[in-house]
Amino acid sequence: MPVITEHGAKVLPSVEIDSYNLEIRDEEGFVGDRASHGAFKSIIEEWREPLRKLGADPLGDMPIEDVSKKQLDALLADGDPEAGGLVHSAIEAFAKELDHVIRRFLKSASWRDTEAIVIGGGFRKSRVGELAIGRTAVLLKAGGIDIDLNLIRNHPDEAGLIGAAHLMPSWTLEGFDGILAVDIGGTNIRAGVVELNLKKSSKLEKAKVWKSELWRHGDEKTKRDEAVDRLIDMLKDLIKAASKAKINLAPVIGIGCPGLIRPDGSIETGAQNLPGNWETKSFNLPACLKEAIPEIGKHETAVVMHNDAVVQGLSELPVMRTYDHWGALTIGTGLGNVRFTTRHDRS
């Protein structure tokens, strides 16, 4: 197959990427670190400390690392008033941090004139996360920042796969039922088959995840090459499942991965949370996958990789085309970011 799109491309079929993986520093370090899932848990710990001294910590002796999003949601909804108050306090403090981070992004040259931001990532999956984002929207508007702040529509786990279909021109997908997609995160690696449903919508508005597999590499002491081998096995299993279900896969694999992606598919910076060293020039994930899976169906495999926040943001294209300039943030192990300009004049 001809080259579809270069890895980490600045110009994609429907958008231009003004910036991604933007790293802004202040006196405390990277600004984005103040609005990650880890930052939220740190805020809860700060509120627990004085309560703990009084023997009144609603979470008891449970380490913050063991407190799940579901547990926090339950405390908010059904816990006693003091427990709910603890979570509310953390939400308010986190919203102020996220408000500060967004304001800093909007001051950068590549984020000026941003009309809307969609927010995804694992933190968005919880009710606590949704409320923190909603509170941030209120703070921004109350502070005179006229910007639409929206939750990503698709489940974040699926958005990171669905967006991969927007990495390549639509003509490369015509005649096929689906594609293989990969979403690599600091805790999880997910691979799936995205059904394109092009007969229902040529703009991929009806694209959905048909089947996916999840591996929590963060729970294991895994080396980089072991992680790649596990991913290859997941993809081969999905190819077999799609064939059995008579889903005609396009011979492409779309990947979302943390970091700044070079045109050759290597990772320049930003992959520090992945198992092993992914930033050495001698390692190239797309090349590894193409070597292990040289063909899909009867066609040569093409692999396209971009930043994970870019890919998750692209999943929102069907509803964001009305904006000229819009961004996406993913709140997870870190804070992913991307700013898009819509290509209204594309052929």
- Tell whether the model's pLDDT for residue 51 goes beyond 80: yes
- Which amino acid is located at 179 in the chain? I
pLDDT reported for residue 330: 93
Long-range contacts of 25-29 (CB under 8 A, 24+ apart): 26/104
Please give the average per-residue pLDDT across 231-235, as a whole number. Answer: 97
- Tell whether the model's pLDDT for residue 88 goes beyond 60: yes
- Tell whether the model's pLDDT for residue 56 goes beyond 90: no
DSSP of 234-247, one letter per residue?
HHHHHHHHHHHTT-
pLDDT reported for residue 345: 65
For the stretch 121-151, pLDDT in tens is 989 889 999 999 999 999 999 999 999 999 9
Q: Contact, 169 vs 9, CB < 8 A? A: no
CA dihedral 240, 241, 245, 247 (to 10 degrees): -70
Contacts of 19 (CB under 8 A, 6+ apart): 108, 110, 111, 337, 338, 339
- Which amino acid is located at 220 in the chain? E
Q: Round to whole Å and give the CA distance between 302 and 170.
A: 15
Q: 113, 281, 317: which is closest to 206 by C-alpha?
A: 317
Ranges 141-145, 295-299, 338-342: which has the least confidence: 295-299
- Tell whether the model's pLDDT for residue 333 goes beyond 60: yes
**Which residue reads 């997609």 in tokens?**
181
Distance of CA 110 to the CA centre of its chain: 20
Please give the average per-residue pLDDT across 168-194, as a whole number. Answer: 92
- Paired tokens of 7: 């890895």
Contacts of 64 (CB under 8 A, 6+ apart): 41, 42, 44, 45, 48
Q: Round to whole Å and give the CA distance between 248 and 263.
A: 29
Backbone angles phi, psi at 336, to 5 degrees: -80, 150
Please give the average per-residue pLDDT across 281-310, as a whole number. Answer: 94
Q: Round to whole Å and give the CA distance between 80 and 60.
A: 14
- Tell whether the model's pLDDT for residue 156 goes beyond 80: yes
Q: Report CA-CA distances (Å) from 271 to 22, 31, 81.
A: 14, 17, 40
Q: 150, 123, 115, 152: which is closest to 136 by C-alpha?
A: 150
- Paired tokens of 98: 């996220």
**Which residue reads 């953390």 in tokens?**
90
- Tell whether the model's pLDDT for residue 166 goes beyond 80: yes
- Which amino acid is located at 86 in the chain? L
The pLDDT > 90 percentage for the chain reads 66
| pTM for the predicted model, two decimal places | 0.91
